[in-house]
Amino acid sequence: MNHPAAVYQPQGQYSSYPPPPLQRPRPHEITSPSYDPPGPPLPQRPSAQAPEGNFDLEAQTTPYPQPLYNPVAYAPGEQFQQFQPPPQRYKQTFASNDDPSNLVHYIRDPHKLIGYLVPFPRPVLPNVDPETIPARFMIYTPPPPPLQKPAEGEKEAKLHKVQRKWQEEVRSAKTSTAKTASWKGVKSKATRGIDWAIHKTTSSNLDFLGRVSPGPHPSHSDDEKDHQGAETHKTVAVEEMVFIYPPTLNLTDQQMREEFVNTMLRTKSKAQRDTIIATGLMPVAYGIDILATFIWPFGGLGEIDTVWAYASFRGAKTARSVTKRLTSSTQSSPNHEDESNKLKLTFTHSQRLEVLRRYLEAECHKADSKLFPRYEHSPTESDILEAIGWSPSRETEEKNWEDEHWEIQEVKEDLKTVFKKAASEWRKWCRLLEKK
């Protein structure tokens, strides 16, 4: 006997498959944690006697029984947190009387140097009154533009050529996309490491002194070229230093002048000591490079020690020259014999330097959050360059986007390196003060 096939009949709880999604009860329906809302009447399937295509819409839209819900995990009126839009960078606003031609803006003049005095934050030391800690500042000026190859027919000094070749090699290494396992990739990594180590050998004040003297500068006068020839160069000395500081630096011009001279004297003493050390280590460094040629053919120790010795020697020489010229400028010269050898210092304040002060404060906080607990939002390197009015140099009339981008990136990297070194140096001095 054959039995008819069983036909599945859906229950009246749901009129169609799949079942609809569960819904939460409305807040006003929740009365207590044990509240179990009763379900509405079950929907009815369309009547079989209804004409074709005519269905009971009311039965189709009837809500289904609500699920059990734990009101403890749901607060009435609760709003789900939405994603916030990403922060936007707004253009800095300065005073209405801030003229772009003011002295705060960085210029490239071989006779005038624009520097920035950025005050260090006062540390928090136990049993030490912050007002008794001397007010000191770091001195910063942007690095000169990358060296360019001389025009055709013009003789290039040996030191200028060595420095230019090294800058080109560093640029090639930093922009290289070669794989690390390849020979070119290993060489690029070694060059970047040597460049990093070279920057670590100098202090922030020594970096500033290395930018005081512009070095050999070609004459732009046609008459001078005719008389001196195309192979001669004229060394241009700095005649005036303009220092800009934030209004929060509560020092008089005389106090800032004295602190600047003392900073130069301290830097000169340290540079002289480093020159002796670096010169004594030079044979050892080159000897290690020669012995390790078969293992590490890229060298590095000799180059690092040579640059350290040269930077220390030049820094000590520049510091001695600056302090000597400042001393002669304070003394009256009845015969006016040394007027050309005097160095003029000019101090002026600007609200724009608050950006640099906050940047240095953030770097000090990163160096030691206990000594410098105060922290504000750190400005970006782009904010600093905008505040001081820095822009890429243009040696030629044609605009080269790659050269400008490279120069911008190098100046931003210099900002990070110099301010980080200054923060570390200030932290060491504060720790020594704490011990004493």
Asked whether residue 120 carries a pLDDT value surpassing 90, the answer given is yes
The dihedral sign for the CA sequence 92, 112, 422, 329: negative
pLDDT of the residue at 315: 80
pLDDT of the residue at 322: 85
Report the first-to-last Cα separation within the chain, whole angstroms. 110
DSSP summary character for residue 339 = G
By CB atoms closer than 10 A (0-12, 13-18, 19+), residue 436 is exposed
Asked whether residue 324 carries a pLDDT value surpassing 80, the answer given is yes
Alpha-carbon separation of residue 317 from 7, 264, 268 (angstroms): 104, 11, 8
Q: What is the DSSP string of 9-47?
A: ---TT-SSSSPPPP-PPPGGG--STT--PPPPPPPPPPP
Nearest Cα neighbor of 137 from 340, 384, 356, 385 is 356
Q: What is the pLDDT of residues 380-391, one digit of tens each?
A: 999 999 999 888
Least confident of 112-121, 225-234, 256-265: 225-234
Q: What is the pLDDT of residues 273-310, one digit of tens each?
A: 888 888 887 787 777 777 776 666 666 777 777 887 88
Looking from the CA of 383 toward its CB, the CA atoms found within 13 Å total 19
Q: What is the pLDDT of residues 337-346, one digit of tens each?
A: 455 577 888 8
pLDDT of the residue at 408: 93
Q: What is the pLDDT of residues 213-245, one digit of tens each?
A: 644 433 333 333 333 333 334 455 788 899 999
Asked whether residue 173 carries a pLDDT value surpassing 70, the answer given is yes
Other C-beta atoms closer than 10 Å to the C-beta of 381 total 18
More confident: 272 or 59: 272
DSSP summary character for residue 396 = S
Helix (H) or strand (E) holding 118: strand 112-119
Looking from the CA of 334 toward its CB, the CA atoms found within 13 Å total 0
- The domains of the chain are located at 112-149+159-435
Q: What confidence category does residue 367 fall into, taking pLDDT thresholds of 50, 70 and 90? A: very high
CA distance linking residue 249 with residue 299, whole number of Å: 45
Q: Cis peptide leading into 392, omega within 30 of 0? A: no
Helix/strand/coil for 240: strand
Sheet holding 112-119, edge to edge: 137-140, 112-119, 240-245, 344-349
Helix/strand/coil for 239: coil
CA distance linking residue 316 with residue 268, whole number of Å: 4
Asked whether residue 148 carries a pLDDT value surpassing 60, the answer given is yes
Q: List Cβ neighbours of 56 (8 Å cut-off, separation of 6 or more).
A: 44, 46, 47, 50
